[in-house]
Amino acid sequence: MAAKNRALSRGVAVVGAGMSNFGAFPGQSTRDLFVQAFQEMRSSVDKGLDPADIEALYIGNYSSDLFEGQAHMAALMADWTGLTPRPATRIEDACASSGVALRQGIIAVASGLYDIVLVGGIEKMTDLPISEVTDTLATAADMLYEIPAGFTFPGLYAAMATAYMDRYGATPDSFMSVGLKNHDNGAVNPKAQFGARIADIMAGKVAKAQKKGYPAPTWANEMAFLHDDRANPVIAWPMRLFDCSPVSDGAAAILLVSEQLAKSFSDDPLYIAGSGQASDVALHDRVELTSIGSARQASQQAYEMAGVSPEDIKIAEVHDCFTIAEIIATEDLGFFEPGQGYEAAEEGLTTRHGPKPINTSGGLKSKGHPVGASGAGQVVEIWKQMRGQAGDRQVTKDVDLALTHNVGGTGQSCVVHIFERR
Ligand code: COA
């Protein structure tokens, strides 16, 4: 069944975007983090924002119920940002929650129902011990057929990684090249959970050992470190620690307005050129594990709506919850042919100085993955890069078209957006 892909009935623009730091913040609640994101978003609106003008909120949140014992988060976020009695809606689509919240906000503005909408993403994961975090994340997989068979999320993506290796000849080193790149990018992102290159992390471990009077490890280079089972243990082969996104807290906020209002808020708005969303069966039911069908469909819809092709996209933030996921994403989005994404990563084509910069923010791997906030966090990076405000990680080319790709679970949901700077 082909999805109809109508154009938006009126244009929608992003005129503000902000985020909290991503990381582990034991002393801060989701409310604190969202207020920080909201305040940064507000100060990013060039011509100022009176919060009283916001007409509705769409908040992406995966599982505050299980992570924090607190449900009904959207109304709470409206309260803590002073936006009651505005309608506040929570959107849950696993790790794609705030990407889907963005799409719902776009639909609401495009429909004419609202002119000014706040989109948010929130998650606080680090209050629970890791075993309970793993169990909570597992509820985004198939609890009937996958989890009882012993799968965790690292395990599910490891299955995709082994299938990819078998089919195309990639090796664990291919995945490591993605981790190296994303840590390089995260090192120049002040908001990132791991603000360190892998070389810096190695140096830190040597210094720590020396301080304690232990024999200092001697790795010849980063790859030697990444091959060391003690430094980089296997989580679910071939996914090691530095192939996994971390457990994170964080929030992000985006302001959407109708195209007609864009210039009254911003000197340099970003326009929504394309939006696509699709679903897929759970991983165990798929014909192939080396591609995510919902990502192919969602991106096709977004490209068609925007009237552009993958070659036109200058930068992209893609859903690298595991390093294999970034490689598959670059193929599903049409940046590289199936089976060539791993070579592109190895050859450096996706570094921030390469021809197709991917995850200049550090991606979920290094910036952090507070799951319900990750999709909105991707938009914050696109906002900064397209407006030339990304500091040390600013790409050198002019970014007139950029893309975000946000996956729920192992791809049962995917949402893709294309942003245009005119
Ligand atoms: N990448 C790199 N280093 C990481 C890391 C990651 N993903 N997660 C933790 N670390 C580091 C910590 O900083 C710490 O370093 P230190 O000893 O130098 O201080 C060390 O590893 C141990 O940290 P800890 O928090 O005890 O790790 P953990 O064993 O509890 O968690 C994982 C590690 C991989 C199990 C966890 O990050 C995880 O489950 N990630 C996947 C999350 C996920 O599935 N998300 C949804 C995707 S769809």
Reported as a single tens digit per residue, the pLDDT across 163-196 is 999 999 999 999 999 999 999 999 999 999 999 9
Domain assignment present for residue 172? The answer is: no
21 within a domain of the structure (yes/no): yes
- Point out the ligand 1 atom lying closest to the alpha carbon of residue 201: 18
Greatest Cα pair distance in the chain: 67
Q: Is the CB of 244 under 6 A from ligand 1?
A: yes
Containing structural domain, residue 94: 12-128+246-420
Is residue 193 domain-resident? no
Q: What tens digit of pLDDT does each residue of 329-377 get?
A: 999 999 999 999 999 999 999 999 999 999 999 999 999 999 999 999 9
CA of 111 to the centre of ligand 1 (A): 42
Question: What is the DSSP annotation of 290-328?
Answer: SS-HHHHHHHHHHHHHHT--GGG--EEE---SBHHHHHH
> What residues contact residue 343 under an 8 Å CB cut-off, 6+ apart?
174, 336
CATH code where residue 303 lies? 3.40.47.10
Residue 368: what pLDDT? Answer: 98
Output the pLDDT for position 6.
75
Structure token pair of residue 390: 């990304």
Residue 136 resides in a domain: no
Answer yes or no: is the C-beta of 235 below 6 A from any ligand 1 atom.
yes
Q: For the segment 364-405, what is each residue's pLDDT rounded down to a tens digit?
A: 999 999 999 999 999 999 999 999 999 999 998 899 999 999
Rounded distance between C-alpha atoms, residue 132 and residue 226, angstroms: 27
* The pLDDT of residue 3: 64
Q: How many residues does the chain have?
A: 422
Q: Is residue 184 part of a domain?
A: no
Strand partners of residue 90: 59
**Ligand 1 contacts CB of residue 180 (under 6 A):** no
Burial 182-205 (b: 16+ CB within 10 A, else e): bbbbbbbbebbbbbbbbbebbeeb
99: Cβ below 6 Å to ligand 1?
no
12 pLDDT above the threshold of 90 = yes
Residue 244 CA to ligand 1 center (angstroms) comes to: 7
**pLDDT band for position 232 (50/70/90)?**
very high
Residue 139 has pLDDT above 70, yes or no: yes
Domain assignment present for 75: yes
pLDDT exceeds cutoff 70 at 320: yes
> CB-based burial of residue 108 (10 Å sphere; 0-12 exposed, 13-18 middle, 19+ buried)?
buried
> How confident is the model at residue 35, as a pLDDT?
98
pLDDT tier at 324 (50, 70, 90 boundaries)?
very high
Ligand 1 atom nearest 157 alpha carbon: 48
Q: How far is the CA of 235 from the centre of ligand 1 (A)?
A: 9
Q: What is the pLDDT of residue 132?
A: 98
For residue 2, the 8-state DSSP code is P
| Beta carbons of 13 and 258 less than 8 angstroms apart | yes
Does residue 88 have its Cβ closer than 6 Å to ligand 1? no
For residue 414, the surrounding DSSP H or E stretch is strand 413-420
What pLDDT sits at residue 397?
Answer: 86
Nearest one of 99, 58, 2, 92 to 301, comparing CA atoms: 2
66, 127, 130, 214: residue to mutate for ligand 1 pocket, most atoms within 8 A of CB: 130
Confidence of residue 262 (pLDDT cuts 50, 70, 90): very high
Compute the average pLDDT of residues 22-44.
98
With a 6 Å cutoff on the Cβ, whether 321 touches ligand 1 is yes
Is 105 among the domain residues? Answer: yes
When pLDDT is averaged across residues 5-13 and rounded to a whole number, the result is: 90
* Each residue's pLDDT tens digit, 68-78: 999 999 999 99
Q: Name the pLDDT band for 251 (thresholds 50, 70, 90).
A: very high
| Statement: residue 290 has pLDDT above 90 | yes
* Total structural domains within the chain: 1
For 6, list phi and psi in degrees, rounded to 5: -80, 155
Q: Are 143 and 100 in contact (CB under 8 A)?
A: no
Q: Is the pLDDT confidence value at 5 over 70?
A: no
The verdict on the CB of residue 336 being under 6 Å from ligand 1 is no
Atom index in ligand 1 nearest the CA of residue 235 equals 34
What is the band of 138 on the pLDDT scale with cuts at 50, 70, 90? very high
**How many whole angstroms from 126 Cα to the centroid of ligand 1?**
11
User: Residue 4: pLDDT above 90?
Assistant: no
Q: Residue 399 falls within a domain, yes or no?
A: yes
Residue 238: CB atoms within 10 Å? 22
